[in-house]
Homo-oligomer: A and B are copies of this chain.
Amino acid sequence: MIYFQSDYVEGCHPKILEKMAETNLEQTPGYGNDDYCAGAREKIRKACGREEVDVHFLVGGTQTNATVIASILKAHQGVISADTGHIACHETGAVEAAGHKVLTLPSKDGTITAEQVAAYCEAHAASTSREHMVQPGMVYISFPTESGTLYSKEQLTSLYAACQKYGLPLYVDGARLGYGLAGSRNDLTLPDIARLCDVFYIGGTKCGALFGEAVVIARESLKKDFRYIMKQHGGMLAKGRLLGIQFDVLFEDDLYEKICKNAVDAALKIRGALEDKGIPLYVSSWTNQQFPILTQAQMQYFSEHAAFEIWEPIDEKNTAVRFCTSWATTGENVQSLVELIRNMPI
Q: Which residues of A are interface residues toward B (Cβ below 8 A)?
A: 3, 5-6, 8-12, 14, 17, 20-21, 23-31, 59-64, 66-67, 70-71, 74-76, 78, 89-94, 96-102, 128-129, 131-135, 205-206, 210-211, 225, 227-239, 242, 310, 328
Contacts and interface: CB of A to CB of B under 8 A. Distances in A.
A8 B133 contact: no
A237 B66 CA distance: 15
Contacts of A59: 59-60, 234, 237
Contacts of A20: 11, 17, 210
Query: How often does this chain occur in the complex, in copies?
Result: 4
A53 to B, nearest CB: 19
Given A24-B17, A76-B93, A99-B99, A234 B237 contact: no
Contacts of A233: 63, 94, 97, 233-234
A341 to B, nearest CB: 20
Contact of A234 (B6, B205, B234): B234
B29 A5 contact: yes
A213 B75 CA distance: 22
Contacts of A236: 60, 62, 131
Nearest to A74: B225
Given A91-B232, A229-B76, A234-B94, A11 B132 contact: no
Nearest to A12: B24
A5 B28 CA distance: 10
Contacts of A71: 75
Nearest to A5: B29
A55 to B, nearest CB: 16
A87 to B, nearest CB: 11
A251 B70 CA distance: 37
A205 B101 CA distance: 27
Contacts of A232: 75-76, 91-94, 97
A93 B97 contact: no
Given A10-B24, A99-B98, A234-B234, A239 B205 contact: yes
A168 to B, nearest CB: 14
A90 B234 contact: no
B101 A96 contact: yes
Q: Sort A-B residue pairs by CB-CB distance and give the 4 closest, nearest first.
A: A63-B234, A11-B24, A76-B228, A92-B232
